[in-house]
Amino acid sequence: MGTHVSVVTGGGSGIGLAVARTLVAQGHVVVVDRDTSALADAKAEGFDAVHADVGSTDDWRHLITHIRTRYGRLDALVHNAGTAHIAALVESSDQDFHRVLDTNVLSVLIGTREAWNLLVDSRGCVVNVASISALVGQDRAAAYVASKGAVVALTRALAVEFAPHGVRVNSVCPGSTMTPLLERHFANLPEGEEAQRKLVQRHPIGRLLTPEDIAPTIVHLTQPSAAAVTGANFVVDGGLTATFDFGSTFAGGGQHADA
């Protein structure tokens, strides 16, 4: 095992766990999560598992102290932790807004700030996991869309600020990926199975993505082969945002067929 040290937030499940399992071939991986059950499983796999709320400055400072004391370096910081709030704007509370923005955006600002010196010393890199919701509108998800758009914009700003120090910053926008978060979303819908079926149909590749589909792009951005890549955003969505749903009448006849 090498000396490379990576941190993956939200690393106890879904995309984060897939990334951690891939990065472990390079060296040490610190899995950060607030789900104690997921952390226990990660620890059983051999990961250095740390419980933390990524929206908390104190928790980040404890984490950075742990990394500095145990490893003395940080080569890759993957901001993957995220949460969603799916509800009409008028049905959303201030608390809902703060929960989404704290977890999805504030965590990137605080965490990167606290890890600054370690990243600079190692000439490391940061990968921010955003969403295709940063690129297109999504109904009943204003706070989530705003947070992911902010992550992509923040990536560019951090890339510029870090560049003189040899630290690269990029973002990845996953599409509809079957993570525990999406599974819970479908389970909470009255017609969840039908909603999932329709979503699958909208993907040119004919299926939803898996965490293992997303992880290679994230991991690639931590590699020396990506040394010239910074301030960039990568979309991994099975072609979803490359399409436009014209509806059945446009493509299959109907009243506008001869127009």
- Cα angle at 9 between 8 and 13, to 5 degrees? 90
Rg of the chain over CA atoms, in angstroms? 19
Select which of 118, 144, 173, 217 is catalytic: 144
Contact 238, 207 (CB under 8 A): yes
Positive or negative: CA dihedral 64, 100, 109, 9: positive
- Buried b / exposed e over 211-233, threshold 16 CB at 10 Å, is bebbbebbbbbbeeebeebbbbb
Q: Based on the residue annotation, tell me whether 144 is a catalytic residue of this protein.
A: yes
Provide CB contacts within 8 A for 29, sequence distance 6+.
5, 6, 7, 8, 11, 20, 23, 47, 48
How far is 64 from 74, CA to CA, in rounded Å? 9
Q: Which residues are catalytic?
A: 144
